[in-house]
């Protein structure tokens, strides 16, 4: 348990990693940095992200459903209803989870320091931590580090910030979009970390998204909840849920658009679409960094009783070790998909079930397609980008879920390693 986080981030990048760090547009009203404050054992490795937000920035978020959440998650859950943020402080290398009252004191101290630095109420400071579980954080270390960093805040430090929140990630993750919102150009830029729940000493999915759009906090919260359901809640590497999962979306309002007061407002639609696109992009990058991943798998479920039912069926397929190992083995083993649909606990009509892989129909209406030839499916499975489509034949619910295969690499990372 004494191993530092990020120990494996020095390793080779995932074979599914993007070729380069993407272009990230600065977001007016947002300055950030990624710095090394000595939490990671490797000297000079970035382990702290600090974000300064313009006054009156709206914030919304979704937090882990774990019944054993970390101290920072508890803090954010209490502050989110306030809807305003001036600062976000995130450290890697230590999750500050299962650390008792000492963990709450670390959060208090960090929040005090950031509030003093930016001259804002404590309620407008948000925090997140990722790394070792159950090891105390040095009591005042994070809070005491902040003042010296102030001069390094910049509008374009996305790569440094993305690196500072990495643990076992093999590449930094970011996504950015610009859109026209009623005649005003609006930017959405975000970063994320995660590569499976991974070891508790290197746990967690984190996502931080920033926009200069003006959006009322309740409208933003509604948008973020929905976008999370269609992005971070649609991915799975190993079905494990971290103590610390945190997604925060901050809207500075600096773009000067007519403020969006209601997420159901038709004018909000282009923003919602772009927000979902950025968050889905980030979520997919987390899957592409899945431990041991060799193949990126997209699962489209249709014909379910509801969108929620479709997502549950998709996740049952995506979490099935048998489906994931079959794809690792490039085996067109569609029977495992039938099994996974069956265990999802949602309505499905066995006699109307249709399954396709790589665009090739394998079963239709519950029976093997006459003349089914496995050759093109086997060819598809030899690629890196795998597509599965399942129609369960009972309704109109749809969902798309993303996952990766389950390989010897996953076992090696998680079993062969000794803390």
| Stretch 351-390 residues interacting with a copy of itself (CB under 8 A) | 351, 353, 363, 366-368, 374
Residues 116-135 that bind a copy of itself (CB under 8 A): 132-134
Q: How far is 92 from 26, CA to CA, in rounded Å?
A: 23
Cα separation of 178 and 251, whole Å?
14
Q: 154, 264, 269, 343: which one contacts a copy of itself (CB under 8 A)?
A: 343
CA–CA dist 346, 304 (Å, integer): 8
Q: Which of 238, 276, 289, 391 binds a copy of itself (CB under 8 A)?
A: 238
Does position 346 interact with a copy of itself (CB under 8 A)? The reply is: yes
Query: 156 or 240, CB closer to a copy of itself?
Result: 240
- Interface residue with a copy of itself, options 97, 186, 227, 310 (CB under 8 A): 97
Distance CA 368, CA 352 (A): 11
- Binding flag, residue 1, a copy of itself (CB under 8 A): yes
Near a copy of itself in 306-335, by CB under 8 A: 319-322, 325-326, 328-335
Active-site residue, selected from the candidate residues 204, 211, 236, 243: 204
Which residue, chain included where needed, has tokens 């102030």? Answer: 150
| Minimum gap (Å) between residue 62 Cβ and a copy of itself | 15
What x-and-dash track marks residues 129-168 binding a copy of itself by CB under 8 A? Answer: ---xxx----------------------------------
Q: Which of 12, 20, 43, 415 binds a copy of itself (CB under 8 A)?
A: 415
204 tagged catalytic: yes
Tell me which of 11, 81, 121, 345 binds a copy of itself, using CB under 8 A.
345
Structure-block tokens of residue 147: 């003042």
Catalytic residues: 204
């Amino acid at each position: 348990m004494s191993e530092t986080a990020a120990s494996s981030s020095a390793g080779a990048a995932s074979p599914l990693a993007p070729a380069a760090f993407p272009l990230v547009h600065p977001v007016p009203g947002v300055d950030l940095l990624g710095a090394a404050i000595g939490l990671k054992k490797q000297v000079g490795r970035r382990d702290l992200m600090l974000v300064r937000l313009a006054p009156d920035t709206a914030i919304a978020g979704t937090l882990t459903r774990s019944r054993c959440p970390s101290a920072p998650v508890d803090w954010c859950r209490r502050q989110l209803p306030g809807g305003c943020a001036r600062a976000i402080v995130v450290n890697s290398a230590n999750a500050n989870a299962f650390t008792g009252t000492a963990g709450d004191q670390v959060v208090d101290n960090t929040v005090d320091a950031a509030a003093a630095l930016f001259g804002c109420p404590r309620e407008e400071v948000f925090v997140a931590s990722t790394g070792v579980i159950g090891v105390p954080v040095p009591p005042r270390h994070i809070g005491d580090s902040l003042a010296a960093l102030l001069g390094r805040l910049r509008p374009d430090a996305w790569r440094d910030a993305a690196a500072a929140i990495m643990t076992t990630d093999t590449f930094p993750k970011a996504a950015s979009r610009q859109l026209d919102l009623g005649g005003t150009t609006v930017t959405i830029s975000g970063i994320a970390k995660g590569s499976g729940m991974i070891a508790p000493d290197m746990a967690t999915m984190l996502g931080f998204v920033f926009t200069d759009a003006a959006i009322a906090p309740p409208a933003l919260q509604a948008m973020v909840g929905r976008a999370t359901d269609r992005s971070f809640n649609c991915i799975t590497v190993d079905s494990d849920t971290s103590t610390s999962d945190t997604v925060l979306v901050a809207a500075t309002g600096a773009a000067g658009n007519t403020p969006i007061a209601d997420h159901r407002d038709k004018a909000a639609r282009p923003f919602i679409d772009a927000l979902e696109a950025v968050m889905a992009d980030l979520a997919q990058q987390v899957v592409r960094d899945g431990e041991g991943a060799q193949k990126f798998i997209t699962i489209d479920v249709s014909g379910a009783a509801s969108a929620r039912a479709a997502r549950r069926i998709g996740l049952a397929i995506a979490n099935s070790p048998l489906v994931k190992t079959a794809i690792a083995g490039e085996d067109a083993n569609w029977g495992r998909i039938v099994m996974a649909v069956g265990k999802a606990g949602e309505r499905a009509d066995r006699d109307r079930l249709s399954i396709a892989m790589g665009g090739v129909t394998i079963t239709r209406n519950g029976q093997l397609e006459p003349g089914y030839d496995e050759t093109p499916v086997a060819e598809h499975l030899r690629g890196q980008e795998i597509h599965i489509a399942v129609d369960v034949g009972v309704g109109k619910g749809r969902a798309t879920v993303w996952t990766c295969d389950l390989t010897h690499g996953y076992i090696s990372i998680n079993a062969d390693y000794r803390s």
